[in-house]
Structure 1
């Protein structure tokens, strides 16, 4: 593929049925488009992960779909791409079935939001940091 490709991720994708290979290759390209610094790795022996200052997402094929796990439960999903794990404390997922369309730009937007949170310290840290309240000045100038 490219210099960004991890041989373990290549092997994982190549071992899938053709329709799942197609989905994984499309998703991989979308992940790469989200940020040029996202790297690929293998975790849990064979599972492809995409990381940048923490986990961004991961791929996992099942019998009848491909899961794209998103490792930030806090990013907005205005296009309603997430279809699994609503309310999950650590992440959500997009299940992609054969012949499902993949909405590229909204997915890029979602992944960029995860990367932005990772660069800011991660969603866990961001969730602990409450904004500093703005106090009105009680002293008024004459």
Structure 2
């Protein structure tokens, strides 16, 4: 994969249990594969974020799951029903993965592409305000 990876994100992922590392690496690779211009950074001191004209998603490993925060203002459709929390959140919704659960790359990739398209169109706040 031809993308620039932030060593601080590597450090975050490498400190996790192996099953969480695998999920985080899979999500990381997927978001980069969605668009070659996606950049990664650390925000909130330690949290990996993936950005392109605004936030796309962030990773946060918890004790028994990995959260992928989708920064879409709740406007990106979820036809596969992968959102697990934050349905009424005004900023981000969550897809949580537990040990042994498969990442639905098709569904997650569709959401990443939609978020990136919205970011390039001015961001979900602008788009949501136009409704």
TM range (shorter): over 0.9
1:113 alignment counterpart: 114
TM-score (norm: length of structure 1): 0.88
Q: Which has the larger radius of gyration?
A: 1
CA shift, 1:63, in A, is 0.2
4+ residue runs over 6 A deviation: none
Task: Deviation per CA, 1:2-48: give whole Å up to 9, x if none.
Answer: 64210000000000011100110111111111111110000011100
- Assess, with a 3 A threshold, how the Cα gap between structure 1 residues 126 and 25 changes in structure 2: closer, same or farther: same
DSSP-derived class of the 1:68 partner: strand
2:83 alignment counterpart: 82
Listed as ranges, the gaps of 5+ residues in structure 1 are: 131-142
TM-score (norm: length of structure 2): 0.95
Task: Deviation per CA, 1:73-116: give whole Å up to 9, x if none.
Answer: 11000001111111111110000000101111111111000000
- Is the CA contact 2:2–2:36 (under 8 Å) kept in the aligned structure 1? no
CA shift, 1:65, in A, is 0.3
- Rounded to whole Å, the distance in 1 between the matches of 2:113 and 2:94 is 16
Listed as ranges, the gaps of 5+ residues in structure 2 are: none
- Rounded to whole Å, the distance in 2 between the matches of 1:57 and 1:29 is 13
